[in-house]
């Protein structure tokens, strides 16, 4: 009953309804996922947690990004009252994603990227000669 109520919000056909296959997929992708876009900033907290901010205009986004975005934007609906999905075919959208980067303790060259937040902004024209976000 829960899945039938949520089905209209889930924009991708390939979802997991059992825990074991889901956990296998998470483990398989754990150190192979790379954030989309250009890293524009990185910072480290006092407790040594490292975070990286990536920026990507939708006009330059690969097809794989849109599949990721369809999965990520469901969290907006669950967490922001009155939120809606954006029209991701509009190339004036840009996205900023914040990822925590966690090195693999067994192989520090492998990095796990955990998305901890993102923000989409819309570039629009502002009279007389400027564009704004």
Confidence at residue 11, expressed as pLDDT on a 0 to 100 scale: 60
Average pLDDT over residues 1-17: 72
Q: What is the pLDDT of residues 20-57, one digit of tens each?
A: 999 999 999 999 999 999 999 999 999 899 999 999 99
pLDDT tens-digit series, residues 67-85: 899 888 888 888 999 988 8
What are the two backbone dihedrals, phi and then psi, of residue 96, each rounded to the nearest 5 degrees?
-115, 125
Q: What's the pLDDT score for residue 38? A: 98
CA-CA distance, 61 to 57, in Å (whole number)?
Answer: 6
Q: What is the mean pLDDT of the chain?
A: 89
């Amino acid at each position: 009953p829960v899945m039938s109520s949520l089905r209209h919000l889930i924009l991708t056909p390939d979802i997991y309804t059992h825990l074991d296959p889901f956990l296998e997929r998470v483990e398989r992708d754990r150190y192979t996922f790379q954030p989309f876009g250009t890293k524009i900033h990185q910072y480290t907290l006092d407790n040594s947690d490292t975070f990286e901010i990536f920026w990507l205009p939708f006009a330059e986004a690969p097809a794989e990004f849109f599949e990721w975005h369809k999965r990520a934007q469901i969290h907006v609906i669950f967490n922001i009252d009155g939120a809606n999905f954006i029209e991701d075919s509009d190339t004036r959208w840009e996205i900023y994603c914040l990822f925590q980067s966690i090195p693999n303790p067994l192989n520090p060259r492998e990095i796990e990227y955990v998305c901890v937040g993102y923000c989409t902004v819309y570039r629009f024209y502002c009279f007389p000669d400027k564009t704004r976000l």
